[in-house]
Amino acid sequence: MRLRRVLIALTTTLLITGGGAVTATALETTANPHRATAQPLERAHAHNDYEHARPLADALDHGFTSVEADVWLVDGELYLGHDGPDLTRTLRSHYLDPLAKRFRANGGSVYPGWDGELRLLIDVKSDGPATWPVIERQLSAYPELMTVYRQGRVHHGAVTAVVSGNRDLPAMQAATTRWSFYDGRLTDLGKGISPTLMPLVSNNWSAVGYTGGPFTAAHRALLRSYVDRAHAEGYQIRFWATPDAPGATRDTVWSEELAADVDVFNTDDLAGLQSWLLAHDPQEG
């Protein structure tokens, strides 16, 4: 993901009839609801984003730059859902169409003035080989929006789709044009997979083994070995199933992830992670 440039809020004020002053940013937000004022947070990933009251919108309102959508292939359509498909909600209706609308409204970016890429993590719950071609077909309908791999090169867009869950690695490796990328695992380290195919490595936090109490030197060494290996091979790294209830254990995990330079923090608590990163992550200061 390219380095972001956070939009600095406009400080010029505009006098309006009747007295008082409002900032130019405030006027733009009123006229255009897509011009959210939340600061984009490079590490913030909304786990199972579709389960929030306002899928995608809640995450973007909190500055998240990565969102997760679980999908099921049913009769040629990609429906959202964790334990089964919700036939009232699709990937297109809740993610692709709203992102395309936001992209146009913001003049070519997800957040106004931001040159980073939103990660759309598509977690495939149905059969991988059957589902991936449909994912590709749907993503290719938004060429102005999506990052694409074509003939050995990655052409960056405002949104990068990464396929997780039931993935079809052989098909993805064989494709000369791809609108999505592969979410690797720790077991994929050392296999020589190009970051142009596998930009992200994700794994269950159980690989670190910490569930509470003191974070030992052994835990720290293990975590940092995973991060260092991933970074050395050109990948970003994420852990899922990290402790997520507010309290000392979660604060310890986030602090250790930050110190180890974990790229993507996984959470269901949008406001909690937003507040924590703004308070503790120097790159968000």
Quote the pLDDT of residue 21. Answer: 35
Give the position of tokens 């990660």. 119
3-state secondary structure at position 168: coil
Kindly state the helix (H) or strand (E) to which residue 260 belongs, with its residue range.
helix 248-260
Of the listed ranges 3-17, 53-67, 133-147, the one predicted with least confidence:
3-17
CA gap 88, 90 in Å, rounded:
7
Which pLDDT score, from 0 to 100, does residue 178 have? 98
The answer, yes or no, to whether residue 36 has pLDDT greater than 90, is: no
3-class DSSP state of 92: helix
Give the helix/strand (H/E) hosting 241. Answer: none
Is the CB of residue 280 less than 8 Å from the CB of residue 255? Answer: yes
- Phi, psi values for residue 97, rounded to 5°: -65, -45
Measured CA to CA, the distance from residue 179 to residue 142 in angstroms comes to 10
Tens digits of residue pLDDT in 160-201: 999 999 999 999 999 999 999 999 999 999 999 999 999 999
Residue 30 has pLDDT above 60, yes or no: no
Mean model confidence pLDDT for the chain: 90
pTM comes to 0.88
Which amino acid belongs to residue 245? A
User: DSSP per residue over 17-64, as a string?
Assistant: TTS-EEEHHHHHHHH-TT---PPPEEEEEETTGGGSSSTTHHHHHTTE
Does the domain formed by 39-284 have CATH 3.20.20.110? no
* Burial of 59 per CB tally in 10 Å (0-12, 13-18, 19+): buried
pLDDT, tens digit, 9 for 90 and up, residues 108-163: 999 999 999 999 999 999 999 999 999 999 999 999 999 999 999 999 999 999 99
For residue 285, what pLDDT is reported?
65
Mean pLDDT of 198-223: 98
| Residue 37: pLDDT band with limits 50, 70, 90 | confident
The rounded distance, in Å, linking the Cα atoms of 221 and 226 is 9
Whether 240 has a pLDDT exceeding 80, the answer reads yes
> Is residue 42 a contact partner of residue 1, using CB atoms and an 8 Å limit?
yes
Whole-number Å distance between alpha carbons of 255 and 33? 34
Flag whether pLDDT at 267 surpasses 90.
yes
Which one is predicted more confidently, 116 or 18?
116
Between CA 96 and CA 99 the distance in angstroms is 5
Tokens of 151: 């003939």
